[in-house]
Amino acid sequence: KLHNTIQELKGNIRVFCRIRPVLPSDLGDPGTSLPSAHATDDLTHHINYLDNQPPGQRHELELIQTTDSASGGKATTKQHPFSFDRIFPPASSQGAVFEEISQLVQSALDGYPVCIFAYGQTGSGKTHTMEGPDHPSEATMGMIPRAVRQIYEAAEALRDKGWTYVMEGQFLEIYNESLNDLLAESSTLPNAGSTTTTAARKHEIKHLPTGKTVVTDLTTVVLDAPHKVHHLLKRAAQNRAVAATQCNERSSRSHSVFTLRLNGRNALTDETSEGVLNLIDLAGSERLAQSGSTGDRLRETQAINKSLSCLGDVIYAIANRDSHVPYRNSKLTFLLQNSLGGNSKTLMFVNVSPLASNLQETLCSLRFATKVN
Ligand code: ADP
Ligand code: MG
């Protein structure tokens, strides 16, 4: 009964869990270098899931946590149950995952604001899900290029009915609560070491009375052919690489926000439509110890912890229909204010690692998801 009520309340917010496969590199990891027979057991038998429920039914997941008693006493086993709108097991292909979000992508073309997030610890598959690998194939392409292609094809199909669409792409990162343009021709991203403002441009977030959000001085690229998105992803990667000289984990310490604006006009009926699709690769959710960190590192840590918990608070407030939604508490939620809540649609991927050594972080990620679901 209570569960049904929660389901009704949460409306346009859905949460999917994706478990990444065990990679060859995981087995060579010193943290998991167990005898191989043991390794398989240890790595795969602590997440049980039901991913084949009929449509409309929630998918169940159970995390099994076994703690050996150091003194040779009995081992204790704890089961942590969770449920999601959808669970993608390690073998799920990018194409199968995209199939489940393609309706949402279509909504953006229909004029809705849409946000798709990837949440999870570093190494859990967020970037793989959103962007795909550096040299993608048809099979491994991520959600961003697939979304661009689908929108392009759907827009083409609407031409006969009088519609023309302009699709524009922007890509920014939020690092230490400030915005940087990932598509700038020459990198303007400040390095981790520069605490004072350098020559980097200041980007301001402006919410127009029309309900549109504008970020000042941001590069906008017209995507008039779907393959152009690959150039954008490459340019962003290069810009990040230049900035990474002093902080090579930069991409896991910042949020990347890819925004597609879809402006349509119908020449026959004079109707217009303005949809926005945001695809957000969040900073790593691993609990970052504040003790021991100082200076820039501490500032970074605090910024990540704060913005991820703000995001949780905002989604929670929307799902609960709270009268006050605390958008202003972080740059990320302030930026996305017009695409979260109201008539917008939100999807959160919770990406998790299958490794026993990551069990504690996996538990934290699943708990975060439960809070927003
Ligand atoms: P994150 O962005 O969360 O830090 P990544 O997306 O970089 O994690 O994934 C970590 C590693 O795992 C990468 O080498 C990536 O290619 C690989 N990986 C993640 N998910 C999958 C998947 N579903 N199939 C194959 N490889 C994956
Ligand atoms: Mg990543």
CB distance 274 to 168 below 8 Å: no
Tell me the ligand closest to 126's alpha carbon.
1
At residue 337, does pLDDT exceed 90? yes
Question: Looking at the predicted structure, is the pLDDT value of residue 127 above 70?
Answer: yes
112-116, 199-203, 243-247, 315-319 — which is least confidently predicted? 243-247
62 pLDDT band, cuts 50/70/90, is: very high
Q: How far apart are the C-alpha atoms of 8 and 2, rounded to whole Å?
A: 10
At residue 6, does pLDDT exceed 90?
no
Q: How close is the Cα of 127 to the center of ligand 2, in Å?
A: 4
Q: Give the closest ligand to the alpha carbon of residue 123.
A: 1
pLDDT value at 1 more than 60: no
pLDDT tens per residue across span 300-310: 888 898 999 99
Contact 345, 116 (CB under 8 A): no
Closest C-alpha residue for ligand 1 atom 17:
125
Q: What is the pLDDT of residues 10-22, one digit of tens each?
A: 468 999 999 999 9
* Of the listed ranges 53-67, 169-183, 238-252, 328-342, the one predicted with least confidence: 238-252
With a 6 Å cutoff on the Cβ, whether 252 touches ligand 1 is yes
* pLDDT confidence of residue 287: 77
pLDDT digits (tens, 9 = 90+) for 281-301: 999 998 766 666 677 778 888
Q: 354 CB under 6 A from ligand 1?
A: no
Distance from C-alpha of 237 to C-alpha of 229, rounded to nearest angstrom: 12
Q: How far is the CA of 365 from the centre of ligand 1 (A)?
A: 16
Least confident segment among 34-43, 74-83, 127-136, 231-240: 34-43
Quickly count: other Cβ atoms within 10 Å of residue 139's Cβ.
Answer: 9
Mean pLDDT, the chain, whole residue set: 86
Residue 192 confidence (pLDDT) above 50: no
Specify the ligand 1 atom closest to the Cα of 128: 6
With 50 as the cut, is the pLDDT of residue 136 above it?
yes
Distance (angstroms) between ligand 2 centre and the Cα of 126 equals: 5
In 52-125, the DSSP E strands lie at: 59-67, 76-84, 86-88, 113-119
**Triad 350, 345, 286: Cα angle to 5°:** 25
Q: Is the pLDDT of residue 33 over 50?
A: no
Contact residues for 117 (Cβ-Cβ < 8 A; gap 6+): 280, 282, 311, 346, 347, 348, 349
ipTM of the complex: 0.99
Structure confidence by residue, pLDDT tens digits, 64-111: 888 766 666 677 888 999 999 999 999 999 999 999 999 999 999 999
Q: What is the pLDDT of residue 71?
A: 63
CA 20 – ligand 1 centroid, Å = 7
pLDDT tens sequence across 346-356 = 999 999 999 98
Structural domains of the chain, with CATH: 11-68+75-372 (3.40.850.10)
